[in-house]
Structure 1
Amino acid sequence: MATREAKAERIEIRTTAEVKALLQQAAIASHKNVTDFLVDAGVTAAEEALMDRRTFRLDEERWKAFNEILDRPVVHKPRLAALLAKKSIIE
């Protein structure tokens, strides 16, 4: 978080005693309180989860190659079509 804002929102979680103890140990090892540790870790995880969905950073050469791949004509792949047509073992 780049700026310091007043903390007005609250998030509550339930967990096991083991997970709570682990989080407390990690916070202590990081020289933080549990709240700051969880917020920092959560924000980092959230940014990483969203980054792959929002941002592409490519140099000019790779951008051109990426666009060339996107512009290729569709090639029918019978084996892939057959595989995707099968019912999954987890269904």
Structure 2
Amino acid sequence: AAEVAGQSLTDFILDSACQAAEQTLLDRRLYMVSESQYQALLDMLERPAQANDRLRDLFARKPPWDVE
């Protein structure tokens, strides 16, 4: 598989391990945080949204799957 991917065996194993670790963390449903971390998250969520030109431009574009 490493050869097919054009990688050394070491690079392939490291990439595979990183992908598996990332997927494992993304699949978690419950994250344990301290009270201060939780409060910081709540504070961020309570702040009003700020104008973001890049995000505005993104939403102004037609999505690639919306083909007519």
TM range, normalised to the smaller chain? 0.3 to 0.5
Highest RCO, 1 vs 2 (Cα 8 Å, sep ≥ 6): 1
Task: Report the TM-score, using the length of structure 1 for normalisation.
Answer: 0.36
Task: Report the TM-score, using the length of structure 2 for normalisation.
Answer: 0.45
